[in-house]
């Protein structure tokens, strides 16, 4: 055997050995078959396969994937045909089941999504279909996840991307929405006008109440002022009467004091009979000048002659 043949054999062996060394990248799983049967599922890292015996049957990505399926025609319970397209989020959890479970798994998921969507929409009317996206998403996700579990696929969620009713239905819905918007606008305007009238009425009511309160307070203040004025006038009249009474009392006291002093002085002077007669005459004159209807004349001055004589005598003695 020549040296070139040996070198060729060595190079061939080196190439074969290098080809048998495999590095599985992150987020991938390699399905390995040995003699045409499943042997292993390689995860991330360095691996070595037997030459001419082991083969890589499938390279499976375990990252979450998104598939946008084309619109599907569906019929509602009230016989309205519409187009609905869906978006499916799924992840491969078992590489072996994914490789051997179903042929063309994406096509299988698409067809399963379409049939499930038709079944769900068939139980709903048009209005319920348009307003029940969350319900439809949740139900179809649960059905698909259960059906694809044996394929090693985990359906994370399904979203209805677009719901397209027929053109005439869309036109009718737009007219209805326009009518609803106009009705709501009128209702809002009516409510605003009502609130405005209520606010105006409440303002007038509050104004009247405040005015009444002000009038009441004014009347109360006026009455209190009048009462205080009457009290002050009464106090003034009472004070005046007290002062008058005190003045009269002091005058009477002064008169009585002067009278008493005059009597004392008179007693001290030891008057004679003529002076006493003169004082009696002065007292009689003062009594006669009053308003009394009856006058009692003392016995000492009953006689006119005696009165004249006494007066004459007193006059001469006084001179």
pLDDT in tens, the chain (319 residues): 567 788 888 888 888 888 888 899 999 999 999 888 999 999 999 998 888 888 898 999 999 999 998 888 888 888 888 888 899 999 999 999 999 888 888 899 999 999 999 999 888 888 888 888 889 999 999 999 999 998 999 999 999 888 888 787 777 777 877 888 888 888 998 888 888 889 988 888 888 888 888 888 888 988 888 888 888 888 888 888 888 888 887 888 887 787 777 777 766 666 556 556 566 656 555 555 555 555 555 555 554 445 545 555 555 554 4
Distance of CA 43 to the CA centre of its chain: 60
The domain in which residue 316 lies consists of 271-319
d(CA 307, CA 195): 110
Out of 13, 31, 61, pick the residue that ends a domain.
61
Domain count for the chain, please give it. Answer: 4
Residue 109 contacts residue 90 (beta carbons within 8 Å)? yes
pTM of this prediction? 0.52
* Same-domain check for residues 204 and 221: yes
pLDDT at 308 (0 to 100): 46
* Same-domain check for residues 140 and 102: yes
pLDDT at 60 (0 to 100): 92
d(CA 131, CA 135): 9
Angle between helix 273-288 and helix 304-318 axes, rounded to 10 deg: 120
pLDDT at 286 (0 to 100): 55
* Same-domain check for residues 52 and 101: no
Q: How far from each other are the two terminal CA atoms of the chain, in whole angstroms?
A: 209
* Same-domain check for residues 261 and 291: no
Exposure of 214 by Cβ count < 10 A (0-12 exposed, 13-18 middle, 19+ buried)? exposed
pLDDT at 101 (0 to 100): 86
Residue 313 forms part of a structural domain: yes
Residue 73 forms part of a structural domain: yes
Residue 10 forms part of a structural domain: yes
Distance of CA 139 to the CA centre of its chain: 40
Residue 296 forms part of a structural domain: yes
pLDDT at 306 (0 to 100): 54
Residue 182 forms part of a structural domain: no
d(CA 85, CA 87): 7
pLDDT at 240 (0 to 100): 85
d(CA 55, CA 49): 8
* Same-domain check for residues 137 and 220: no
* Same-domain check for residues 84 and 154: yes
Letter string b/e over residues 162-193, b meaning 16 or more CB atoms within 10 A of that residue's CB: ebebeeeeeeeeeeeeeeeeeeeeeeeeeeee
Residue 46 contacts residue 23 (beta carbons within 8 Å)? yes
* Same-domain check for residues 76 and 21: no
d(CA 63, CA 154): 11
Residue 221 forms part of a structural domain: yes
Neighbours of 196 (CB within 10 A): 10
Residues in the chain: 319
* Same-domain check for residues 81 and 112: yes
Residue 132 forms part of a structural domain: yes
Letter string b/e over residues 54-92, b meaning 16 or more CB atoms within 10 A of that residue's CB: beebeebebeeeeeebeebebebeeebebebbbbbebeb
Closest CA to 299 of 280, 285, 314, 313: 280
* Same-domain check for residues 265 and 276: no
d(CA 307, CA 303): 6
Residue 55 forms part of a structural domain: yes
pLDDT at 295 (0 to 100): 52
Closest CA to 107 of 161, 57, 163, 69: 69
Q: What share of the chain is helix, strand, coil (3-state, %, to 5)?
A: 65, 20, 15
Bridge partners of 92? 153
* Same-domain check for residues 120 and 53: no
pLDDT at 313 (0 to 100): 56
Question: 169: which residues sit within 8 A by CB, 6+ positions away?
Answer: 80, 82, 126
* Same-domain check for residues 152 and 70: yes
CB-facing half-sphere around the CA of 166: CA atoms within 13 A: 10
Bridge partners of 37? 34
d(CA 131, CA 141): 18
Residue 89 contacts residue 55 (beta carbons within 8 Å)? no
């Amino acid at each position: 055997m020549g040296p070139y043949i040996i070198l060729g054999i060595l190079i061939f062996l080196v190439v074969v050995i290098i080809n048998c060394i495999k590095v599985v990248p992150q987020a991938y799983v390699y399905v390995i078959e040995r003699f045409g049967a499943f042997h292993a599922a390689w995860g991330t890292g360095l691996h070595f396969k037997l030459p001419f015996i082991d083969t890589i049957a499938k390279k499976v990505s375990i990252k979450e994937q998104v598939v946008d399926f084309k619109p599907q025609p569906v019929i509602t319970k009230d016989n309205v045909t519409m187009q609905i397209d869906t978006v499916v989020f799924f992840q491969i959890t078992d590489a072996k089941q994914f490789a051997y479970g179903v042929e063309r798994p994406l096509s299988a998921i698409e067809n399963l999504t379409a049939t499930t969507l038709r079944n769900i929409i068939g139980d709903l009317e048009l209005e319920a279909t348009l307003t029940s996206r969350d319900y439809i998403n949740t139900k179809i996700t649960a059905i698909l996840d259960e059906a694809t579990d044996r394929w090693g696929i985990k359906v994370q969620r399904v979203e209805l991307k677009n719901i397209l009713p027929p053109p005439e239905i869309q036109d009718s819905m737009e007219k209805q929405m326009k009518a609803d918007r106009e009705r709501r606008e009128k209702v809002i305007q009516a409510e605003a006008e009502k609130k405005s009238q209520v606010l105006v009425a409440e303002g007038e009511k509050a104004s009247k109440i405040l005015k009444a309160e002000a009038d009441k307070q004014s009347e109360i203040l006026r009455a209190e002022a009048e009462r205080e004025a009457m009290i002050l006038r009464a106090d003034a009249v009472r004070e005046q009467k007290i002062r008058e009474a005190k003045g009269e009392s002091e005058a009477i006291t002064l008169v009585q004091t002067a009278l008493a002093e005059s009597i004392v002085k008179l007693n001290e002077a030891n008057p004679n009979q003529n002076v006493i007669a003169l004082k009696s005459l002065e007292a009689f004159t003062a009594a006669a000048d009053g308003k009394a209807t009856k006058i009692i004349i003392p016995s000492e001055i009953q006689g006119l002659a005696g009165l004249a004589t006494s007066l004459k005598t007193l006059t001469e003695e006084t001179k």
